[in-house]
Amino acid sequence: MSFAKSVWKILVAIKDGLVLLFLLLFFAALYAVLSIRPAPGQVTDGALYLPLSGVVVEEASDISPTAFLSGQTPVAEYTARDLSRAITEAATDKRIKAVVLDLEAFGGGASVHLSQVGAAMDKVRAAKKPVLVRSLIYTDDAMQLAAHASEVWVDPMGGVVVTGPGGSRLYYKGLIDKLKATVHVFKVGTYKSAVEPYMRADMSPEAREAMQGVYGAIWQNWQDEVKKARPKADLAPMLTDPEKWVADSGGDAAQAAQKSGLVDRVGDSVSFGKRVAELVGADEDAGLGGFKSTELPVYLADKTASSAGKAIAVVTVAGEIVDGDAGPGSAGGDRIANLIDGVTQSDDYAGLVLRVDSPGGSVLASERIRNAVERVKAKGLPVAVSMGSLAASGGYWVSTPAQRIFAEPSTITGSIGVFAVLPSFENALPQIGVTTDSIGTTPLSGQPDILGGLSPQVSAVLQGQVERIYARFLGLVSKSRGKSSAEIDKIAQGRVWDGGTARQLGLVDEFGGLDQAVAWVAKQAKAKEWHAAYVVDEPSPFAQFFRQMESGEAPSAGSHDLAGALAARQQGLLVRLEADLARLTTDGGIKAYCLECAGEERTVVPARGGQGGGLLRLLALFVG
């Protein structure tokens, strides 16, 4: 017996020792990875090589370790700012002979961001350096980028497929009726169609009118940009009769694209690599088709941003505006307000640019951000807003303190309106034998009661609050724009506008990107020399660790052919389903959110490894 106990103690000691050893090895590996940083001076004479196996965004999302523990791999994200800066630097860097983009695993991006990157590619071409792009399939986003290249390659098995903005939207009224649930909607705004999915089975005429106007403007801007970048390209056959367009080339989509001038050469990745090697030199160690190159992280480490002159603070509001400290990638109201207050408290900044790329969200969080911007103004610093792809509803709320608002023609903005949605199940529960009874001391006791139903009094209180907040929203905008509340109300009502129309209506002041906004603030601050100083949160060690793991990851195993490309675009409907149901089954706070804009936030492929969240929420509704 004593022998068995001794053996057991030895086994336990071995087990404990192994656990301790594995923990030490894990933390040693973690420290080693976090210590690895691309170092200046590692740039190779050759090409700036950008294999974009993810999406272009305004601000990269924070990465939660739980995503990896659950078996999901986040989609790689590249900020438009980093891409455009690197490509612009390459134009004058003697070590860089060409800029090369591989878009085979490209996940897309908002039109405004792609235009920003495209403008940087134009600078390289203006410097008489070649810009080469390859892909298997060019969708709308990839084609928008590729149009700016001097040499566009497509795989013999690929082609170009451009669909234009638009598509199906989800409506849940039929499902809600079948469940005998009640959705209480409190809103202001004829065009505030964010709540329509819960009230209707189809799109209202007002929502259709608004979205057709926005889609039409964005689509025209896309065509204008592509035609300007590739004036010899013939878009008409592809856009008017794609079936005949491909059939006229014997069913060969790659040849059809080449004949139309959308691409220049047809060849596989090895042929493309050999062509690049002719221009920049071959890399024998990289295998067949290898060429000398430097990738984005190394190049950015070598090309640090200028810090000369006065600092103009840039704070980014990207993603849905939510309460708390969430983000980056979503705009936690407290987190963003703290960043802005840091600008107020410091004497290092000559002004502030608020970069907004958001469909809005929580009214409370939006107000906290707006108040923080007002504190910067109260200090006497000039403030401008630079709108990215989307600055609507709460995204416009936080923009109201600015002395100057810059936007792009394809920016989506407006959606000045508020709403709240609360579900209740007083008619559904009796169907499964569950009933409710109540006792209260006031008309509001136990309200809002999602099981027994909302009382008329609480419904009236909630609608009154929504109307009061809408009136405040109108007041903020009218003060900012120098118009009466009645004038703003005519162009508000929850309606979304493209940047060009918004400028005509006076909701924005002028066209321009972030650089123009920074220059305007510098001028107001009487700065002869300046630089943009991005005020950001330090990424967590885990985020740094997983980003570095992700940076070396091969493209996803998903198919990149024509069918796969089209299917990937439609996966956004599953993401939309989950988001819509989340809004119905989670907090019911009053929102300044542009749900109708969400379809124009470029839908990306969900994290790989499972996507059952939306279906689980749907099931949760069925079981009440």
Tell me the catalytic residues.
Answer: 192, 393
Q: What's the half-sphere exposure (Cβ side, CA atoms, 13 Å) at 522?
A: 19
Maximum distance among all Cα pairs of the chain, rounded to whole angstroms: 92
Q: Which helix (H) or strand (E) holds 514?
A: helix 514-524
Q: Which helix (H) or strand (E) holds 422?
A: strand 418-424
Beta bridge partners of 184: 422
d(CA 271, CA 368): 55
Q: State whether residue 262 is helix, strand or coil.
A: coil
Q: Which helix (H) or strand (E) holds 265?
A: strand 265-266
Backbone φ, ψ for residue 599 (5° rounding) = -65, -20
- Between helix 80-92 and helix 111-126 the angle, nearest 10°, is 10
d(CA 391, CA 112): 12
Q: What's the half-sphere exposure (Cβ side, CA atoms, 13 Å) at 56?
A: 27
Measured between alpha carbons, how far is residue 94 from residues 47, 85, 124 in Å?
Answer: 11, 16, 12
Handedness of CA 390, 391, 393, 394 (dihedral sign): positive
Cβ-count burial 365-385 (b if 16+ within 10 Å, e if not):
bbbbbbebbebbeeeebbbbb
d(CA 103, CA 86): 17
* Residues with Cβ within 8 Å of residue 331, at least 6 apart in sequence: 317, 318, 319, 320, 321, 322, 358, 361, 365, 369
d(CA 488, CA 494): 11
d(CA 158, CA 139): 11
Backbone φ, ψ for residue 227 (5° rounding) = -65, -35
Burial class, 180, CB count within 10 angstroms (exposed 0-12 / middle 13-18 / buried 19+)? middle
DSSP structural state of residue 353: E
Q: How far apart are the first and last CA of the chain?
A: 57
d(CA 565, CA 137): 7
Measured between alpha carbons, how far is residue 316 from residues 300, 319, 496, 502 in Å?
Answer: 20, 10, 22, 21
d(CA 126, CA 148): 11
Measured between alpha carbons, how far is residue 81 from residues 41, 55, 104, 600 in Å?
Answer: 22, 13, 21, 20
CA 298 to chain CA mean position, Å: 24
Q: Which helix (H) or strand (E) holds 97?
A: strand 96-102
